Amino acid sequence: MAEAMRSDGIDPAVLAGNESNRAIAAEIAAIPLAPKLPRRFWWGFAAFFTIGLLFLGCVSYLLAAGIGTIGLNVPAAWGFLIVNTVWWIGIGHAGTLISAVLLLMRQNWRNSINRFAEAMTLMAVALAGTFPILHLGRPQYFYWLLPLPVTHMPWPNWRSPLVWDFFAIATYIIVSLLFWFMGLVPDLAILRDRAKSRGKQRIYGFFALGWRGSAYHWHRYRIAYYLLAALATPLVVSVHSVISLDFTSAIIPGYHSTIFPPYFVAGALYSGFAMVITIAVPLRHFFGLEDFITLKHLDNAGKVMLASGAVVAYGYLCESFFAWYSGDQFERYMMWNRMFGDYAWTFWFMLACNVGTLQLLWFKRARTSPWLLFALAFIINTGMWVERYVIVVTSLTRDFLPSSWQNVLPTWVDFGILFGSLGLFFAMMFLFVRLLPLMTIFEVQELKHELKEAQ
């Protein structure tokens, strides 16, 4: 048995302490069920929610005053909002990877981090979904991208990557939601049973869908959960590939590049895991979850980042190489402009963040010191956002005819929406932590159980 376990690659280090199942349940369920949380929790929430309001404010202004209020012009008709979309979708990917792919690969160490990673995915993708609509000139007609049975006969142009996009993102949101909820059911039942107040019992109870944890339930549950996982797995690859097609299939130098699909997916995981760490480190610190989110987790996450980051770096290399090797004057100028043009600093900043800091992750020391990792993750996420800016905006400002070249500057609305969306995201994470178990209680118990047997 023990051998079997090791062959499963479970490292005892993934869980510390040795609570009983009840204790585990108690510890994790404590947070959502606690009558009140320490004041600083609410201060944190209030801070982020205030920033979140900035998002709502700027969006309302944008809708009222028109798309001209954000930094766009005719060579560069796409701006911050598209950059945000790509970035947020990328963030989302980590969640799906952890929960679905690692589940199928029986990487049980994932068990204590998948729940909030999924929550993160859900919120990131939901946010990402709003930007393309806000970015329309006439957002009120976004539904014209659907084949509608109405008399004025709107019909999608199936050749357009934006249509693929539309469906890709929609699918992603739905699947992530189902997967996340599916995973919650048994825990909701636990909360239901541990809840003291009738109100909580009813609410948690309603969503627990009458789960009693019978063998029969578990049997059904496993099948369904693994099926969903299998469904979600291809999305990890497909969604961001489709997004990248928005650029790849355009003819603009800097967009028109075959390397994009793999390189976008890698980038997505890179930034995604960075975000997981950005969330995990404070969580384990403030809620004393060092026993559940152990250094082992951080170490693994660090390794994934190292791998995906390396692929991204390779992507940069390829892009530059092909630009030169193609011999195409437009491609060459594009790359030259990225490196030495008006926006050169963004390019070098991107390299510094995404390739430079990456090197630290070669060292176990770095991977296992939480706050250093946290800092790296933060820098890398910034770098990844800038990467998308370099691709989306700087390419546009210098295209084929020099006569139409023009730089573009973001407005305060752009920044308002970007930072506002971050605020909203973290505010929602706070609510999630408050209302739901931030780890899969039963899976952690299971893991514990297996480890016990392993010894």
Partner 1 sequence: MPVTDKDMREELAAAEPARFWRSLEERARTPAFRRMLDAEFPEIAERYATATDRRTALKLLGASLLMAGMGTAKAAEGIAPYVEQPENLVPGEPQFYASTLNERGYGMGVIVEAHEGRPTKIEGNPNHPASLGGTDPIMQAAAFSLYEPTRSRTVLKGNEVATWGAFQAEVAELRERALLQGGAGIGVVIGPNTSLTLQRLFSQLQQAMPALRFYLSDPLAGTPRPYAVLPHFDEAKIVVSLGADFLGEGPGRLAAARGFADSRRVRAGGQRTMSRLYCLESIASLTGAKADSHLLVRPSAMDETVARLATAMQSGTGDDAFTTALVRDARAAGNGLLFIAGERESAFVHATAQRLNQPSAGITHTLIAPVATAPADSGSLYDLVTDIGVGAITSLFVLDCDLMHSAPADLDVGAALEHVSSLYHHGLHVDETARKADWHVPATHDLESWGDLRAFDGTASIVQPLIAPLYQGRTIAELAAALTGDFVSSSLDLTRATWAQLDDAGWREALKRGVIADTAAPAITAPPLAEIANPVQEAAQIDVVLTPDPFLDGGTHAANLFLTELPRPLTKLVWGNAAELAPATAQTLGVATGDLIEIGIDKQVLALPAFISPGQAPDTVVVPLGFGRWTGEDSDTVGTNAFPLRRRGNAWLLAGARVKKGQGSGRIITTQEHHAMEGRDIVRDVPLAAIADEGPSAQEPPSLYPPYEMPEEAWGMSIDLTACIGCNACVAACQAENNSPVVGPDEMAVGHDMHWLRVDRYYAGDPEAPETVFQPVPCMQCEDAPCEVVCPVNATVHTHDGLNAQVYNRCVGTRYCSQNCPYKVRRFNFFQYQDFDEGSPLSLLMNPNVSVRERGVMEKCTYCVQRISAARIQSEISDQPIADGAVQTACQQACPTRAITFGNIKDKQSAVAREKTEPHSYALLEELGTRPRTTYLARVTNRPDEDKGNG
Partner 2 sequence: MGRIGPYSKGNAVAQVFSSRANQIVYFVLYGALVLIILSPTIWIVLDRSFYHTGQFYALEQPAPFSHAHHVGEVGLDCRYCHQGVETTASAGLPATEVCMTCHSQIFSDAPILAPVRKSLASGVPLVWNRVNSLPDFVFFNHAVHVNNGVGCVSCHGRVDEMPLTWQEMPLTMEWCLGCHRDPGPNLRPESAEFSMDWQPVGDRKKLASELMAHFHIDTRTMTDCYACHR
- Where along the sequence are the contacts to partner 1 (CB under 8 A)? 65-68, 71-75, 77-78, 135-139, 141-142, 144-145, 154-157, 159-163, 166, 246, 249-252, 255, 329-330, 333, 396, 399-406, 408-409
Distances in whole angstroms, Cα of residue 206 to Cα of each of 189, 196, 219: 9, 15, 21
Instruction: Return the number of the residue (42 or 415) whose C-beta is nearest partner 1.
Output: 415
DSSP 439: S
Distances in whole angstroms, Cα of residue 345 to Cα of each of 152, 248, 441: 48, 24, 46
Residues from 339 through 368 that contact partner 2 (CB under 8 A)? none
Supply 281's token pair. 């480190």
Show Cβ contacts of residue 46 under 8 Å, excluding neighbours closer than 6 positions: none
Residues from 389 through 418 that contact partner 2 (CB under 8 A)? none
Q: Find out whether 100 and 179 touch, Cβ atoms under 8 Å.
A: yes
Name the minimum Å distance from CB 215 to partner 2. Answer: 6
Instruction: Return the number of the residue (197 or 404) whose C-beta is nearest partner 1.
Output: 404
Name the minimum Å distance from CB 234 to partner 1. Answer: 23
Among 10, 14, 15, 25, binds partner 2 (CB under 8 A): 25
Instruction: Return the number of the residue (33 or 375) whose C-beta is nearest partner 2.
Output: 33
Q: Find out whether 308 and 266 touch, Cβ atoms under 8 Å.
A: yes
Q: Find out whether 280 and 2 touch, Cβ atoms under 8 Å.
A: no
Q: Which does 401 bind (CB under 5 to 8 A by kind): partner 2, partner 1, none?
A: partner 1
Instruction: Return the number of the residue (6 or 202) whose C-beta is nearest partner 2.
Output: 202
Instruction: Return the number of the residue (66 or 147) whose C-beta is nearest partner 2.
Output: 147
Considering only the stretches 41-49, 155-163, 212-220, 406-414, report the one whose residues sit in contact with partner 2 under the rule CB under 8 A: 212-220
Supply 72's token pair. 């766009």
Among 32, 90, 186, 370, binds partner 2 (CB under 8 A): 186
**Of 206, 197, 196, 183, residue with least CA distance to 95:** 183
Q: Which residues bind partner 2 (CB under 8 A)?
A: 21-22, 25, 148-153, 186, 189-190, 192-193, 198, 201-202, 205-206, 209-215, 218, 441-442, 445-446, 449
